[in-house]
Amino acid sequence: MLSTSLRVLPDAFGALAIAAAFAFLLTAPDSAIANGYQSPTGPRPVEFLINSQWQTGLHLVDSSTESLIMAKDGWLHTVDANKRTENMRPTSERYQPASAMQMRNQLRAEFGRDFDVVATQNFLVVQPRGRGNRWPDMFENSHRAFVEFMTKRGVRVRKGRFPMVAVVLPDARAMYAELDRLKIDVSRVAGIYANRCNRVLTHDGGRLSDIAATVRHEAAHQSAFNSGVHSRVNDTPSWITEGIGQMFEPESLAGGIVGSTHRIADRMNQESIRHLRNTLSLNRSDDMVRWVERLVDGDDAFRDQSSVHTAYAVSWAMMFYLAERDHTAFADVLHFTATRPPFENYRRGQRRIDFERIMGIDTVTFANRLTRYLNELP
């Protein structure tokens, strides 16, 4: 089983995906945002130049330095502000996402004859030739279990606009080469969801049981960002995105063991609960109050090696508690964060105000209840 640390970098990339495109959103103080985001008058179709080719896309938003465009295959691209006139032009063509058939052909051309592209209802899985249905079934089952889980709790789930793409490279080395090609800088990962290209990447070079939890975690990110549970173009607090990722690591939750979810111990992320029991003193709630407030207010704990494990574990606990005990608040916090305006910086004070309003209690009371709940778990 992999330790959570192996997911740190990809998650920083995945959850704050736009980071790749709008680097300063990651770390920017409020002033950086004040200084330049404007939405064009609603998303408009444009032609834009990428890798020496003109493509049609949807122009989403401008900053002082870049324009953000969604291509027909769901990729997010940027055009430099000072190249807008050369590299971007209006078009009368309607923007229409690529069909599964078009994307399948595109993936075949991209990956060549050593790979199959297997279509399922919701996925296009690129994998080394002749690997059968194990990976396609795993992604498809994970997504279906995700949709069912959310629907049962009153979360609005919509059908994605793009077929989801999962790329299974033959081994770790090939995966890192592919990550390099996509200019994604990570190390020591078993898989990642890259928001910019809307793909999950993993590899088939080890035992599946060693990387399965990570792949389920990343697949949950992809499901969430493609079904409207999170937005790909706004800044969702990391405790929410990572709490969801952690929650879907157990095999029973991701549809891996049919009918096994009736035992709470099977639904729990055992690694997270173990970490919490070893790290925080759960006989009082002081520790939990501090952690809940830190995660509600900002995402810094996810960027610091000394706090990142606990940040993931507490995020899991917060989302798991809501998913098990308060479906209304669980659905409300997802609905609210998914519908915030694109690219609007989510300020610390506002995060706290929204949290307390949605939960109907203050952070201290929330942390007290959460601590009590964790103590009751098997």
Sheet of strand 123-128: strand arrangement: 115-119, 123-128, 164-169, 199-203, 191-194
Give the rounded distance of the alpha carbon of 267 from its chain centre: 20
If one asks whether residue 11 binds Zn ion (CB under 5 A), the answer comes out as: yes
Q: Judged by CB under 5 A, which stretch of 18-26, 43-51, 242-250, 320-328 contacts Zn ion?
A: 242-250
Give the shortest CB-244-to-Zn ion separation in angstroms.
8
Nearest distance, CB of residue 95 and Zn ion, angstroms: 29
Minimum distance, C-beta of residue 32 to Zn ion, in the bound complex (Å): 25
Strand partners, 61: 68
**Exposed / middle / buried, residue 85 (Cβ in 10 Å: 0-12, 13-18, 19+):** exposed
Nearer to Zn ion, 176 or 248 (CB): 248
- 237 near Zn ion, rule: CB under 5 A: no
Residue 204 engages Zn ion in binding (rule: CB under 5 A):
no
Cα 66 to chain centroid, rounded = 23
> Considering beta carbons, is residue 48 or 248 the nearer one to Zn ion?
248
Stretch that binds Zn ion, among 83-91, 156-164, 235-243, 351-359 (CB under 5 A): 235-243
The distance of closest approach from Cβ of residue 152 to Zn ion in the complex, given in angstroms and rounded to an integer, is: 22
Q: Give the nearer residue to Zn ion in terms of CB position, either 74 or 245.
A: 245
Q: Give the residue among 16, 2, 83, 37 at the shortest CA–CA distance from 246.
A: 2
In the complex with Zn ion, the residue whose CB is nearer, 3 or 375, is 3
Kindly tell me which of 14 and 228 has the beta carbon lying closer to Zn ion. 14
What is 64-84 written as a DSSP string? SSEEEEEETTS-EEEEEGGGH
Give the nearer residue to Zn ion in terms of CB position, either 11 or 73.
11
Stretch that binds Zn ion, among 8-16, 130-138, 318-326, 348-356 (CB under 5 A): 8-16
Query: Taking Cα atoms as reference points, which of 248, 222, 215 lies closest to residue 165?
Result: 222
Is residue 245 near Zn ion by the rule CB under 5 A? yes
- Helices (H), ranges, the chain: 8-15, 24-27, 30-34, 84-87, 100-111, 134-152, 172-181, 208-226, 238-247, 264-267, 270-279, 286-297, 308-325, 327-338, 348-359, 363-376
Cβ-based nearer residue to Zn ion, 1 or 101: 1
Residue 297 interacts with Zn ion (CB under 5 A)?
no
Bridge partners for 89 per DSSP: 47
Binding footprint of Zn ion on the chain (CB under 5 A): 11, 242, 245
